[in-house]
Amino acid sequence: MSTATDTPSSRAPGPGPAAQREPVLSVRDLRTCFEQRHATVQAVNGVSFDLHAGETVGLVGESGSGKSVTGYSLLGLIDAPGRIAGGSVRLDGEELVGLSSQGLRAVRGRRLAMIFQDPMATLNPVLTIGAQMALALQAHGYVPRAQARARCVEVLRQVGIPDADRRLEAWPHQFSGGMRQRVAIAIALLHKPQVIVADEPTTALDVSIQAQILTEIHQLVRDSGTALLWISHDLATVAAIAQRVLVMYAGRIVEEGPTRAVLKAPRHPYTAGLLGSLPQSSTPGQPLTQIPGAPPPLDALPAGCSFADRCARAEARCREQAPPRQSDGERAWRCHFPLHHADAAAVPPPSRAAVAPAP
């Protein structure tokens, strides 16, 4: 009998739990820091996770937790005074950390693509949409003109741009914010990459456009077998599209697991706190529950748990010892005193929308 474990090809989104297949992207103990005059900012502090073909994984956390730096690190987009200080990023088995800039350029855009919060980070204001898409397509080898044009029209249609043929002649300033982001997504899709890193791509858009683009990206990656790392501070978008979630705090993954399970019964008090901050979980008109306090400075991390100062469950041990990663198989957490299901009832329950199964 053929099972998922019999087919190591990580590009095929075959049946069976993702955990049984080879990951397409494997990140181990990734460390990225920024050297400052008197201190070192540890923005990404030993992050490990896997992405499988056809899978969407959410990376969530408050602002400043290191989500974007993680995303940029995967693509080798860290510039001085930042550097990747350690760890490994393997794309289909190939190590990307330490690759030359030429080697990285060959991977970036073709096998591993990024969608930024601001589409103008991708788009050149002085080129027509068609011209920049053609450039992006030709960056990895010659494609005959007619074929290039057909591919550009095809991806523009896929991302819901009507009249794509004519739109190739337009300039970015002639598009709305939502349309510009669709073009940036189309460019990310051009080469059918194995992995897409999307860094808050809908955060700057109207809520209704956000929902449309979210649904479209979800369908596109599912249909193409692309793995998607969906970075967001917004648990609701993660709940809508991610099968698994990684919760990041002060440069570390503090909790991870199947989205539904994690949001329904968080183990880490930080995750529970984030859920309490969801707009849907509070009564209309009531202020959001905020996690009290602020994250520790990343250039002077405490010896113990980084969350201890803000945690109602913290005891002396939490301030002394950094909690190791603990796992029960599908789920993992870094907490000396994790919440259990009975405790979880004590935290504000996430709304129905927040725990909806990933479609």
* Closer by beta carbon to ligand ADP, 30 or else 183: 30
Identify the H or E element spanning 276. Answer: helix 269-276
Quickly count: other Cβ atoms within 10 Å of residue 83's Cβ. Answer: 15
CA gyration radius, the chain: 21
Q: Closest CB to ligand ADP among 26 and 65?
A: 65
* Residue 61 binding target from Mg ion, ligand ADP, none, CB below 5 to 8 Å by type: ligand ADP
Residues that bind ligand ADP (CB under 6 A): 34, 41, 43, 61, 63-69, 82, 298
Q: Which does 103 bind (CB under 5 to 8 A by kind): Mg ion, ligand ADP, none?
A: none
The pairing of strands 40-51 and 56-60 is unpaired
Site string for Mg ion, 65-84 (x = CB under 5 A): ---x----------------
CB of 320 to ligand ADP, least distance (A): 25
Q: Which is nearer to ligand ADP, 41 or 195 (CB)?
A: 41
Of 66 and 172, CB closest to ligand ADP: 66
Backbone angles phi, psi at 187, to 5 degrees: -65, -40
Our CB check for ligand ADP shows the closer of 130 and 251 to be: 251
Question: Near Mg ion by CB under 5 A, which window of 52-60, 61-69, 131-139, 165-173?
Answer: 61-69
Decide which of Mg ion, ligand ADP, none touches 41; Cβ closer than 5 to 8 Å per partner kind: ligand ADP
- Taking the CA atoms of residue 312, residue 315, residue 319 and residue 324 in that order, the dihedral angle to the nearest 10 degrees is -90
Helix (H) or strand (E) run with residue 154 in it: helix 145-158
Residues sharing a CB contact under 8 Å with residue 78, sequence separation 6 or more, in sequence order: 32, 69, 72, 84
Q: Cβ of residue 64: shortest distance to ligand ADP, in angstroms?
A: 4
Q: CA-CA distance, 265 to 326, in Å (whole number)?
A: 16
CA angle 64, 70, 74 (to 5 degrees): 160
Task: State in angstroms the smallest separation of the CB of 279 from ligand ADP.
Answer: 19
Q: Which residues bind Mg ion (CB under 5 A)?
A: 68
